[in-house]
A and B are shown apart, each in its own frame.
Chain A
Amino acid sequence: MASEPFEYTPQAADVFTQEVMARSGQNLTACYQCKRCASGCPVAEDTDMVTPNRLIRMVVLGDIENALTNKLTWKCLFCHTCGTRCPNNIKTGRIADTLKKMALDAGIDPQQPEYKNFHRAFFNYSLRWGRINEIGMMGEFQLRNMWDHLKKGNYVAILSEIMSKSTLAWKMFKQKRLHLSFHSSKGRDEISRLYKKSSGRKWI
């Protein structure tokens, strides 16, 4: 993939780096590119050579577009192997996580379309009922996916969504892993008050 040479703009790089550092709580400028993180990363063989150390360098240089759209940012599993091996204690998993959030804030579509819907469905369900019921949560996740397909007019995808997820559900049901009982927590008004308090906050 031939691309235009990247032009370094100190001020833009600084603003971007400061925001990533504040939101992730990590000191990116401490990275001296020793690549211990790179050798431990379980997804790095599948990210077009973007390793955790290179991700840090992208951010520090202010290469915003690549930082928000490279494969590592989206494939990172938050397993923290990089963080435990870093001699400077930089938890790059949290940087990738921050970049995902910044990309979503900027209206960039996630590389795995279902990523956003899954976490949104899980989080909303835990706020709404106080506890996760797997069937309900997965149902919400599926509805969100189908709504996305509907907006794009992709009816075939809706059908395959129903087919694939109901196959999975049936398989789990046969393994006696799907339970139909419903659980909730009475403390959900406390939780929704806390949620109101969190609105507009970009970090803790």
Chain B
Amino acid sequence: MDLAYYPGCSLYQSAKLYNHQIKLVLGMLDLKLKELEDWSCCGATSAGKINDFMAVALPARNIGIAESTGLSELVIPCSACYSRTMVAQKQLQDFPLLKNEINFELSKKTTGNIKVSSALDVLRREIKGSRFKSIPLQKLEGYSPACYYGCMNTRFPYDVPISDNVENPQAMETVLEATGVKAVDWNYKTLCCGASSVIYNPEGALDLMAKIMRDAVSRDADCFVVNCPMCQMNMESQQDNFCEKHDIKERLPVYFITELIGMAFGLSKEELQPGDDLFINGMDWTDLCGDSV
């Protein structure tokens, strides 16, 4: 099946690995991601801080392009892009005058009706399908990940349909369980990591991340699993800083959900992390998959 695909800016840059892996994993489930032609930035949280109109208009352009492909569903892996697009779409539906005003300038008009899903929604749906059941799964033993969702999967600045439990989301746990990994039960899976405030209010953001880390460690988690490029970046690149500040000795690797699923699907390290320009350190492949890798 073909799905429209909006990667967003960070999946072309700091979260390049996520872009690569999501295509690979969904490809194995017979889903082909058709990247939107000439997509543009969704404005993330910054557009709404300055200009409310552009916060709707920027995602509206991408929704218009997605609708023009004729495909029925738009998949967005990045949580911030997903949140912005969901909110903008609902606002386009709720304010027809605003929609007309925006459409007047767009070459690909939007109706605001395409189905928008996060990559996680798609994964959770596909594990029930026959394609998933036909893939021979590798056993990932000795893994207790803490699934960290952050804010943008379940909490929105506008009333939109929410695809998971707001306080205790289960999508990643469900997907991991289907691949044979039992995630730990913990408290801080939806606490904010500070997001971009790590740039302009670092102390506050580090305190929040330390809370998340401390709870994950006390529950004996041995890694984080995330689906948001911002959370991944913060929890990994700031980990030494917040752990040193709060006397936490442990360090946990932070993986995208696709990394674990890819391994369970039997993909090799070279397939999941090709080339030199991709990151993530810490995953000990020989430990996980024995000699087969």
Question: A and B bound?
Answer: yes
Interface residues, chain A, with chain B CB atoms under 8 Å away = 23, 25, 42-43, 46, 75, 77-81, 83-84, 89, 91, 93-94, 97, 100-101, 112-115, 117-120, 122-123, 126-127, 130-134, 141, 171-172, 175-179, 181, 183, 185-188, 190-191, 193-195, 197-198, 201-204
In angstroms, Cα B52 to Cα A25, docked, is 11
In angstroms, Cα B48 to Cα A101, docked, is 10
Stretch touching chain A among B140-148, B200-208, B219-227: B200-208
In angstroms, Cα B54 to Cα A130, docked, is 12
B279 within 8 A of A: yes
In angstroms, Cα B279 to Cα A120, docked, is 29
Residues in A whose Cβ lies below 8 Å from that of B276: 176
Cβ–Cβ contact A187 & B196, under 8 A: no
A179, closest chain B residue (CB): B13
Q: Which of A83, A119, A120, A178 contacts B155 (CB 8 A)?
A: A83
Cβ–Cβ contact B13 & A134, under 8 A: yes
Residues in B whose Cβ lies below 8 Å from that of A46: 204, 207
In angstroms, Cα B200 to Cα A93, docked, is 18
A186, closest chain B residue (CB): B38
Residues in A whose Cβ lies below 8 Å from that of B22: none
Residues in A whose Cβ lies below 8 Å from that of B102: 194
Cβ–Cβ contact A126 & B43, under 8 A: yes
B98 within 8 A of A: yes
B49 within 8 A of A: yes
Q: Which of A100, A127, A171, A195 contacts B49 (CB 8 A)?
A: A100
18 contacts between A and B (CB under 8 A): A43-B208, A77-B194, A80-B151, A80-B156, A81-B155, A115-B201, A123-B49, A126-B47, A130-B40, A132-B9, A177-B279, A178-B14, A179-B16, A187-B38, A191-B61, A193-B105, A201-B51, A201-B52
B50 within 8 A of A: yes
Residues in A whose Cβ lies below 8 Å from that of B279: 175-177
Q: Which of A75, A94, A122, A201 contacts B201 (CB 8 A)?
A: A75
Cβ–Cβ contact B204 & A197, under 8 A: no
Cβ–Cβ contact A123 & B52, under 8 A: no
In angstroms, Cα B54 to Cα A204, docked, is 8
Residues in B whose Cβ lies below 8 Å from that of A117: 200
Interface residues in B80-94 by Cβ distance below 8 A to A read: 91
Residues in A whose Cβ lies below 8 Å from that of B107: 187, 190
B252 within 8 A of A: no
| Count of A-B contacts judged by CB separation below 8 Å | 174
Q: A183-B12, A204-B95, A204-B98 are in contact. List 13 more A-B contacts (CB 8 A).
A: A25-B158, A79-B151, A84-B155, A101-B50, A123-B51, A177-B14, A177-B233, A179-B16, A179-B277, A191-B61, A194-B57, A194-B105, A204-B53
Shortest CB-to-CB span from A33 to chain B, Å, is: 22
Q: Which of B53, B54, B166 contacts A123 (CB 8 A)?
A: B54
Cβ–Cβ contact B39 & A77, under 8 A: no
B122 within 8 A of A: no
Cβ–Cβ contact B51 & A131, under 8 A: no
Cβ–Cβ contact A112 & B200, under 8 A: yes
Shortest CB-to-CB span from A110 to chain B, Å, is: 8
* Known contacts A75-B204, A77-B195, A204-B98; is-contact A97 B49 (Cβ 8 Å): yes
In angstroms, Cα B53 to Cα A201, docked, is 8
What are the interface flags for B139-169 relative to A under an 8 Å C-beta threshold, 1 for contact and 0 otherwise? 0000000000001001111110000001100
B237 within 8 A of A: yes
B278 within 8 A of A: yes
A45, closest chain B residue (CB): B207
